[in-house]
Structure 1
Amino acid sequence: MEMGNRLKKINEDNNFFYLTVALIALLISSALAEIVGQGVIDHVLQLFIIVTFVVCLASLRFDKGWSRFLITLVCLWILATLVKVVFERSEMDFVMLALTFSFFFGTFKSTAKQVLFHGKVNTNKVIGSVALFLLLGLMWAIVYLIIIEYSPQAFTGLEAITWGENFSNAAYFSFVTLTTLGYGDISPITPLAQVVVYLEAIVGVFYMAIVVSSLVSANIENRENNNG
């Protein structure tokens, strides 16, 4: 009941705050799940992904097309989870990763449409730009997990274990790459993995410039409209 009341309070002036908090909670939960134990990692992670689904649906419900897209993803996610649990089909791991990537990509697209290049720049939009950065890192983390599913030796420092157990490590490597820190504890070996990694680094370099320029241009356009 309390969560339902909080979701009702989400509006176009604070929606990106809730979205950003949900994404940060997802990252933290994946790390804490590893501490709890391997037997519950997948279940904890799936629970938080579902919670993130719900919060994102409430946060971005103002984009009607995205809302229908997300509801479809939720239904497919639940179906894939049931098939995996009941029939123990390992192929469902790839399906769930693909659905998760689609979720992050759709959320990124909807958020970018509301944040970048138009409208009044306010605190909510600035927080939305943070959500975009988190979504970029999460999308690449899923791509790394998909690569590992088909090429377990693609990375040094990333073991070929279930994607739920590897999610936190993949997210860590993704954000280290996105920010071009490059600690070196995890590194790509295969050509495909190397291409994906340096593409993420390129996106990370240009992201800040694009976001800053878009917010500035949107603010200038909004002032010009207000002045006449």
Structure 2
Amino acid sequence: MKVGNRLKNINEENNFFYLTLALIALLISGALAEVVGSGAIERVLQVTIVITFIVCFASLRFDKNWSRLLKTLALFWVAVIIFKLIFERREMDIAMLALTFCFFFGTFKSTAKQVLFHGEVNTNKVIGSVALFLLLGLMWAIVYLVVIEYSPGAFTGMEAISWGENFSNAAYFSFVTLTTLGYGDISPVTPLAQVVVYLEAIVGVFYMAIVVSSLVSANLQHREQQNG
């Protein structure tokens, strides 16, 4: 009951606060899941993704198009989980990763529409820009996991194990690349992996400039409209 009331309290003035918290919780759970043991890692991640899914739906329900897409993704998600439990086929892992990417991408698109280039810049929008950054890193983490599924030796420092067990490593490498830190403990080996990595690094470099300029532009436009 308390959780339901909390979700009802999400509105257009605080929605990105809850969205960002949900994404941070997903990242933390990915790291903590490894402590539970390999047999339970994917289940822990699936539960956390479902919780994130619910919070994202409540946070972005003001975008009607995304709400409809989210409901469609939920149906496919349940179908894939059921098929995986019955058949245990590798293709189900790929389908799960594809749906997860679509979820992150759709959430990114809906958030960007509400945060960038229009309206007054407030605390909620600033937090929304943080959510956008987290979503970028998560999307690329999913791409790395798909690359590993098809090319197990694509990265040094990441073993060809189940996507659930590799999620934390992929997310770590993704954010290290996105922020252009480049520690070197995980490195791309194959040409495809190298292309994906440097594309993320390019996006990371330009992200801050684009977000700052869009927020400044939106704020100036809002002031001009207020002043007539």
The alignment partner of 1:91 has SS state of helix
Who is 1:128 aligned against?
A: 128
Who is 1:74 aligned against?
A: 74
Query: Aligned AA for 2:169?
Result: N
User: Is it true that 1:209 corresponds to 2:209 in the alignment?
Assistant: yes
User: Is it true that 1:55 corresponds to 2:45 in the alignment?
Assistant: no
Alpha-carbon displacement from aligned partner over 1:184-205 (angstroms, at most 9, x marks no partner): 0000000000000000000000
The alignment partner of 1:118 has SS state of coil
Alpha-carbon displacement from aligned partner over 1:27-46 (angstroms, at most 9, x marks no partner): 00010000111111000000
Who is 1:95 aligned against?
A: 95
Alignment partners' CA distance in 1, 2:218 and 2:117 = 5
Who is 2:3 aligned against?
A: 3
Who is 2:18 aligned against?
A: 18
Gaps in structure 1 of 5+ consecutive residues: none
| Identical pairs, percent | 79
Q: What stretches of structure 1 move > 4 A for 4+ residues in a row?
A: none
Query: Aligned AA for 1:205?
Result: V
Alpha-carbon distance, 1:179 to partner: 0.1
The alignment partner of 1:184 has SS state of coil
Alignment partners' CA distance in 1, 2:159 and 2:82 = 26
Alignment partners' CA distance in 2, 1:2 and 1:163 = 33
- TM-score, normalised via structure 2 length: 0.99
Alpha-carbon displacement from aligned partner over 1:138-161 (angstroms, at most 9, x marks no partner): 000000000000000000000000
Alpha-carbon distance, 1:51 to partner: 0.5
Who is 2:182 aligned against?
A: 182
Alpha-carbon distance, 1:114 to partner: 0.3
Alpha-carbon distance, 1:135 to partner: 0.2
Instruction: Give the paired residue count.
Output: 228
Query: Aligned AA for 1:210?
Result: I
Alignment partners' CA distance in 2, 1:89 and 1:147 = 18
The alignment partner of 1:30 has SS state of helix
Alignment partners' CA distance in 1, 2:201 and 2:7 = 35
Alpha-carbon distance, 1:87 to partner: 1.6
Alpha-carbon distance, 1:85 to partner: 0.7
Who is 1:192 aligned against?
A: 192
Who is 2:108 aligned against?
A: 108
Gaps in structure 2 of 5+ consecutive residues: none
Alignment partners' CA distance in 2, 1:91 and 1:2 = 38
